[in-house]
Copies of this chain bind each other. A is one copy, B any other.
Amino acid sequence: MSNDTVSKPGVTVLASKISKIYVEEISSKVNAIKNIRPNGPLLVGFLANDDPAAEMYASWTKKTSEDMGFRYELRRIDEKDFLEEAIIETNRDRQVDGIMVYYPVFGNAQDQYLQQVVAKEKDVEGMNHVYYQNMYHNIRYLDSENTIKSILPCTPLAIVKILEYLKVYNSLLPQGNRLYGKKCVVVNRSEIVGRPLAALLANDGAIVYSVDVDNVQKFTRGEGLKFKKHHVEDLGGFSADLLKQCCSEADVIVTGVPSESYKFPTEFIKEGAVCINFSSNKNFDESVKSKASLYVPMTGKVTISMLLRNMLRLIENSEKSKNP
């Protein structure tokens, strides 16, 4: 063991490495449906902004999809106002199996409207309201006969898969309780990623501190509730002190702050914590490596694997609906 290993014991784990474990599974499934999709399933991505991060994400999606036997088509929309109609046309196009949109488009609540325009049968990102609502309530199927599986929103799902890879999920514990005893901090409470992620982790047994600019909430599994649903408690308005206190025992810190200037305070990180950033901005600076045991600087490539898995499940659902 070198001195360097002892003084900087932390390891950086790249999303590209984690996503590799899904290559075989996904490719072989694509191969198995060659009878119904001889040219490979078709994913359409809509890009209506000039965000370089979205552009990069689009090129990764293309490469990953094509590597695994999918077809990928990027459709650029110059006038944002035309995107809705383009999505509606694609919803109806039988040649297309999956649709994704590179957000932000309008960068405000109108984006939440757009998410619901994508037909849930082609919504590979799992952003339809029905998928979120099922996720919050641990409902696994879309139909009452339990044959059509619900899917999970792909970024929160990717972070769960990353935590499994990093062995934060302990496979010796029973399924559904594998984060028992773990404390997590999630800095972001968007409806897209932060709030669903906090709920997913709480439902797996963790205590989760969900942090946004306004306040801090504590998510736990709500055993006593009528529905299988996490419990949320307000801990108070946001302050650096409160964040520091939540972090003092946190085994996991997940950040998703969409700001170039934001940096998570390294001094708040507990020695040996696992740190994951899902923002397209680097929310941790280099000093994170002096504190974190495992550090995942970006998550996009795992997210792409998850959306390709979702797409395969949607195709399976669509075949089941045709031949019940």
- Which positions in A face B, CB cutoff 8 Å? 81, 84-85, 88-89, 108-110, 112-113, 116-117, 129, 132-133, 136-137, 190-191, 195, 214, 225-227, 229, 231-232
Contact with A227, one of B85, B109, B226, B231 (Cβ below 8 angstroms)? B85
Q: Are B112 and A109 in contact (CB under 8 A)?
A: yes
Contacts of A110 in B (CB 8 A): 191, 195
B85 contacts A191, CB within 8 Å?
no
- Of all chain B residues, the one with the shortest Cβ separation from A222 is B81
A145 to chain B, nearest CB (A): 18
Q: Are B129 and A113 within 8 A (Cβ)?
A: yes
* Cβ-defined contact, B132 with A81, below 8 A: no
User: Which of B88, B109, B225, B232 makes the CB contact (< 8 A) with A191?
Assistant: B109
- A109's nearest neighbour on chain B, judged by CB, is B191
**A272-B81 Cα distance, complex, nearest whole Å:** 33
Nearest residue (CB) in B for A82 is: B225
Interchain CB contact under 8 A, B116 and A190? no
Distance between A10 CB and nearest chain B CB, rounded to angstroms: 34
Inter-chain CA distance A229–B87, complex, in Å, is 14
* 11 A-B pairs with C-beta separation under 8 A: A81-B232, A85-B225, A85-B227, A89-B226, A109-B109, A109-B190, A109-B191, A112-B112, A112-B191, A113-B129, A113-B132
Please name 16 further chain A to chain B contacts, defined as beta carbons within 8 Å, in addition to the given A88-B137, A112-B112, sorted by A numbering.
A81-B232, A84-B136, A84-B229, A85-B226, A85-B227, A85-B229, A88-B227, A89-B226, A109-B112, A110-B191, A110-B195, A113-B132, A116-B116, A116-B129, A117-B133, A129-B129
A186 nearest CB across to chain B (Å) = 15
Chain B residues lying within 8 Å of A117, measured Cβ to Cβ, are 133
User: How distant is the Cα of A232 from the Cα of B83 in the complex, in angstroms?
Assistant: 12
- The complex places the Cα of A88 from the Cα of B225 at a distance, in Å, of 13
Considering only CB atoms, which chain B residue lies closest to A231 in the complex? Answer: B81
A258 to B108, CA, bound (A): 17
A227 partner residues in chain B, CB cutoff 8 A = 85, 88
